[in-house]
């Protein structure tokens, strides 16, 4: 089986960050996937299209659509919340957020709710939305919440979909921090410090990334307290003002490393990362993601160009709609094949 590798470079914007190498992940060359949403001239989703309404081009060459999933295909959504102490400010908002998310699902969709720390703990197994409150709350007093194994949570969460048909998605609320991040010694301005190592040097993360890239589960993250949306709690040590909080440079660097890993997982699975600015933003963002699940089409194609490349030139993906006046929004527009 010929494998393609896709490269995504995650840029680090902070002045304390060092440039990261592009990360590499594998996908089956027979199954390049693209998720799309189609809207009309007023921005309203168009949900009744068929395979024959779409065409896919790679570098301008028409491809055969091998698989198509319409908007009506049921979605199975696992809502997964980090219950470790670092997410405590968001706990009071979770009940409302879960209900508001579920209210946007359709009758054919199913939902499950779980929390994770050192492992995943199911709070509500798979069930259809009934229109009433799900009666689900986080249980932060559980021993499960005494630590964070985000790699284990991502890997294990995929197994929750075994035997389940239809489209699959995970919405994970977390700051992305992991108890066992590999660290490296560095000297910064004459001081010896330890920083989280880059994702491309993190063997455990690369295993997780490979696992999710081979699955058919789409990951969405609500990333809290990252370098892009730090919380309002002051931090000790050498202080740098970020928004309304104060943080030291090493902390910001580590927060960037956690964020980049979430972005990479979302990218390879066709999802995205949202950054709530405050706990009250969580519920509306959940609603937005639920709407997105309900308006996506899934398309897969097998590249006609099977030649290897040196990894320097990405191949462009373009999904076109045959009806005039409609606009296609793609979850990705390119990938880069590299020889094994």
In this prediction, residue 129 carries a pLDDT of 79
Length of the chain: 340
Residue bearing the bigger pLDDT, 58 or 230: 58
Eight-state DSSP code of residue 45: B
d(CA 146, CA 152): 14
Give me 257's structure tokens. 């490393």
Position 138 pLDDT exceeds 50: yes
CB-neighbour burial class of residue 309 (10 A; exposed 0-12, middle 13-18, buried 19+): middle
What's the average model confidence in pLDDT over 71-81?
93
In this prediction, residue 14 carries a pLDDT of 34
Q: Which residue shows structure tokens 């709070």?
A: 123
CA angle in degrees (0–180, nearest 5) for 87-92-93: 90
Lowest mean pLDDT among 28-32, 83-87, 127-131, 315-319: 28-32
d(CA 260, CA 257): 5
Lowest mean pLDDT among 4-18, 142-156, 158-172, 194-208: 4-18
Give me 248's structure tokens. 């030291």
- CB contact burial 118-149 (16+ within 10 A = b; e otherwise): bbbbebeeeeebeeeebebebebeeebbeebb
Confidence of residue 308 (pLDDT cuts 50, 70, 90): low
Express as a percent the part of the chain with pLDDT over 90. 46
> What does the domain layout of the chain look like in residue ranges?
31-71+305-335, 75-293
What's the average model confidence in pLDDT over 267-289?
88
pLDDT in tens, 7-20: 233 233 333 333 33
pLDDT in tens, 193-238: 888 999 999 999 999 998 998 888 999 999 998 989 887 544 434 4
- Average pLDDT over the chain reads 82
What's the average model confidence in pLDDT over 304-325?
81
- Which fold does the domain 75-293 belong to in CATH? Rossmann fold (3.40.50)
Position 61 pLDDT exceeds 70: yes
Element (H, E) at 211: helix 203-214
Position 239 pLDDT exceeds 80: no
- Are 271 and 219 spatial neighbours (Cβ–Cβ below 8 Å)? yes
Give me 40's structure tokens. 């009309």
In this prediction, residue 215 carries a pLDDT of 86
pLDDT in tens, 88-120: 877 887 888 888 898 888 889 999 999 999 999
Position 30 pLDDT exceeds 60: no
Position 140 pLDDT exceeds 60: yes
Give me 67's structure tokens. 């698989």
In this prediction, residue 78 carries a pLDDT of 96
In this prediction, residue 237 carries a pLDDT of 40
Question: pTM score, two decimals?
Answer: 0.78
Position 50 pLDDT exceeds 80: yes
Q: What are the C-alpha distances in Å from 259 to residues 94, 154, 226, 249, 273?
A: 21, 14, 6, 15, 9
**Cα–Cα nearest to 247, from 172, 175, 146, 150:** 175
Express as a percent the part of the chain with pLDDT over 70. 83
What's the average model confidence in pLDDT over 28-33?
61
Q: CB within 8 A of 80, min separation 6: which ones?
A: 114, 115, 116, 120, 153, 157, 170, 171, 172, 173
In this prediction, residue 135 carries a pLDDT of 82
Q: What are residue 249's phi and psi, to 5 degrees? A: -60, -40
In this prediction, residue 171 carries a pLDDT of 96
In this prediction, residue 137 carries a pLDDT of 85
């Amino acid at each position: 089986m010929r494998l393609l590798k896709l490269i995504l470079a995650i840029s680090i914007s902070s002045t304390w960050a060092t440039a990261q190498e592009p990360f590499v992940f594998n996908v089956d060359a027979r199954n390049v996937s693209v998720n799309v949403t189609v809207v009309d001239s007023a921005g309203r989703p168009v949900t009744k299209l068929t395979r024959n309404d779409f065409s896919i081009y790679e570098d301008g060459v028409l491809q055969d659509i091998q698989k198509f999933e319409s908007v009506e295909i049921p979605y199975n959504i696992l809502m997964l919340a980090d219950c470790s102490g670092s997410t405590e400010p968001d706990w009071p908002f979770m009940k409302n957020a879960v209900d508001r998310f579920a209210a946007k699902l359709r009758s054919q969709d199913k939902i499950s709710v779980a929390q994770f720390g050192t492992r995943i703990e199911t709070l509500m197994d798979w069930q259809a939305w009934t229109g009433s409150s799900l009666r689900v709350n986080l249980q932060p007093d559980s021993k499960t919440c005494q630590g964070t194994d985000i790699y284990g949570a991502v890997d294990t969460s995929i197994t929750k979909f075994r035997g389940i048909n239809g489209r699959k998605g995970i919405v994970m609320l977390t700051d992305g921090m992991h108890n066992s991040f590999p660290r490296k010694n560095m000297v910064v301005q004459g001081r010896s410090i330890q920083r989280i190592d880059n994702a491309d040097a993190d063997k455990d993360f690369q295993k997780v990334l490979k696992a999710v890239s081979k699955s058919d589960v789409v990951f969405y993250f609500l990333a809290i307290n990252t370098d892009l949306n730090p919380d309002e709690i002051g931090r000790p040590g050498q202080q740098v003002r970020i928004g309304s909080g104060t943080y030291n440079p090493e902390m910001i660097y580590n927060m960037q490393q956690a964020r980049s890993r979430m972005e990479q997982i979302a990218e390879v699975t066709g999802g995205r990362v949202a950054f709530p600015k405050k706990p009250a933003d969580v519920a509306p963002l959940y609603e937005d993601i639920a709407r997105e699940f309900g308006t996506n089409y899934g398309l897969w194609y097998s590249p006609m160009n099977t030649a290897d490349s040196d990894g320097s030139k990405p191949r462009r993906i373009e999904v076109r709609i045959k009806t005039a006046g409609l606009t296609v929004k793609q979850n990705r527009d390119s990938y880069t094949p590299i020889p094994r």
